[in-house]
Amino acid sequence: MSKPRCGVPDLPNKVQYRNKRQLSPLPFTHLGTKWNSNRVTWKINSFTRQLSEQEQRSAFYRAFKLWSDVTPLTIQQVSGGKADMEISFERYDHGDNSPFDGKATGNTLAHAFQPGTSDISGDTHFDDDEVWTVNSDQGTDLYYAAAHEFGHALGLGHSNREESLMYPLYRDASNLKLSMDDISGIQQLYGKLPTSTFQEHHEND
């Protein structure tokens, strides 16, 4: 039985779309673009009904924090207007020419666009037909999937290092952390961390 894989091409190229699980022949790779500012914004456009909104916000905060903890990036949630990275749960054909396959096949969990200037650059979509969970041995852990996809949304491609978060095959989500490969890749894009700069901005603040 085949395991769910990412639809991202093995090597970085001009294709912007990044999905969640496919073998790469190299250590960390870059997708060819990065955000020009160290302040990057994000917002949630839609939630899944499988988890509470707070559980989903928490998973996304923690996923972004993995990356901001090792870089000078300030990754801040906003509640209105256009954000650099926008998050939504979608089903099948959802208007971006990369339809999801649904839970009947379950091979594509999520996908994200690399940084850029188009309306969809940096956005992450999760397949709402998958079974999304947090802190469970059932379904797909949203924190893990988000952390991987946000790596793509920040400009990282896949790694062939099995210990890497950017390794394209889904693995156990317990004790999730960045490997040295992940850290080297993101720091080549944004530099090393002088101090922690992650800001939690709640929509109801």
Catalytic residues: 149
Residue 201 annotated in ligand binding? no
Residue 141 annotated in ligand binding? no
Residue 172 annotated in ligand binding? no
Residue 94 annotated in ligand binding? yes
Residue 148 annotated in ligand binding? yes
Residue 128 annotated in ligand binding? yes
Residue 123 annotated in ligand binding? yes
The one-letter amino acid at 123: D
Which pair of structure tokens corresponds to residue 89? 């749960």
Residue 119 annotated in ligand binding? no
Q: Are 10 and 23 in contact (CB under 8 A)?
A: yes
Q: Are 187 and 39 in contact (CB under 8 A)?
A: no
- Nearest by Cα to 66 from 170, 168, 154: 154
Burial 33-45 (b: 16+ CB within 10 A, else e): bbbeeeebbbbbe
Residue 71 to residues 57, 122, 139, 198, Cα–Cα distance (Å)? 21, 18, 31, 10
Residue 30 annotated in ligand binding? no
Residue 202 annotated in ligand binding? no
CA contacts within 13 A on the Cβ side of 193? 16
Q: What is the torsional sign of CA 107, 86, 185, 15?
A: positive
Widest distance between CA atoms in the chain? 46
Q: Which positions make up the binding site for Ca(2+)?
A: 84, 101-102, 123, 127-128, 130
Q: Which positions make up the binding site?
A: 6, 84, 94, 96, 101-102, 111, 123, 125, 127-128, 130, 148, 152, 158, 166
Q: Which positions make up the binding site for Zn(2+)?
A: 6, 94, 96, 111, 125, 148, 152, 158, 166
